[in-house]
């Protein structure tokens, strides 16, 4: 069984500040981890994913995440927030690298608010 916990349903940061969105997972098999972003009235868009290899993963729009097996974490960061980053962010885990063999298990989501 797999599960994902996202700490903080809402995170507010100032424009230009560091963004940190937390994600912890549990999985009985080696996990594949994903971060998705959802802008208003749009579908989920893949930000980045961890499959194997390098534990620091770089994604689109300046985001990156680090897989820490010892902490069962996959936190998402961005050095400098931009107003356009305001959105809902979902962490997800899967037993397949593409997430599609058996679907994804999602966290509850974190709403990122950017203050001017």
Partner 1 sequence: GAVVSQHPSRVICKSGTSVKIECRSLDFQATTMFWYRQFPKQSLMLMATSNEGSKATYEQGVEKDKFLINHASLTLSTLTVTSAHPEDSSFYICSARWTGAGEKLFFGSGTQLSVL
Residues 62-101 that bind partner 1 (CB under 8 A): 90, 96-101
CB atoms within 10 A of CB 75: 19
| Cα 25 to Cα 31: distance, rounded to the nearest angstrom | 9
Minimum separation from the CB atom of position 75 to partner 1 (A): 18
Minimum separation from the CB atom of position 116 to partner 1 (A): 26
Neighbour-count burial for 25-58, b at 16+ CB within 10 Å, e otherwise? bebeeebbbbbbbeeeeeebeebbbbbeeeeebe
Per-residue contact track with partner 1, 14 to 53, x per CB under 8 A?
----------------------x----xxxxxx-------
Which residues bind to partner 1, rule: CB under 8 A?
4, 9, 36, 41-46, 90, 96-109
């Amino acid at each position: 069984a797999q599960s994902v916990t996202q700490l903080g349903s809402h995170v507010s940061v100032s424009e230009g500040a560091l963004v940190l969105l937390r994600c912890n997972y549990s999985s009985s098999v080696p996990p594949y981890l994903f971060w998705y972003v959802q802008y208003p009235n749009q579908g989920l868009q893949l930000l980045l994913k961890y499959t194997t290899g390098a534990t620091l993963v770089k994604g689109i729009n300046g985001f990156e995440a680090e897989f820490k097996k010892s902490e069962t974490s996959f936190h998402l960061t961005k050095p400098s927030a931009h107003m356009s980053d305001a959105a809902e962010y979902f962490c997800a885990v899967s037993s397949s690298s593409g997430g599609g063999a058996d679907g994804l298990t999602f966290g509850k989501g974190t709403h990122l608010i950017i203050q001017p």
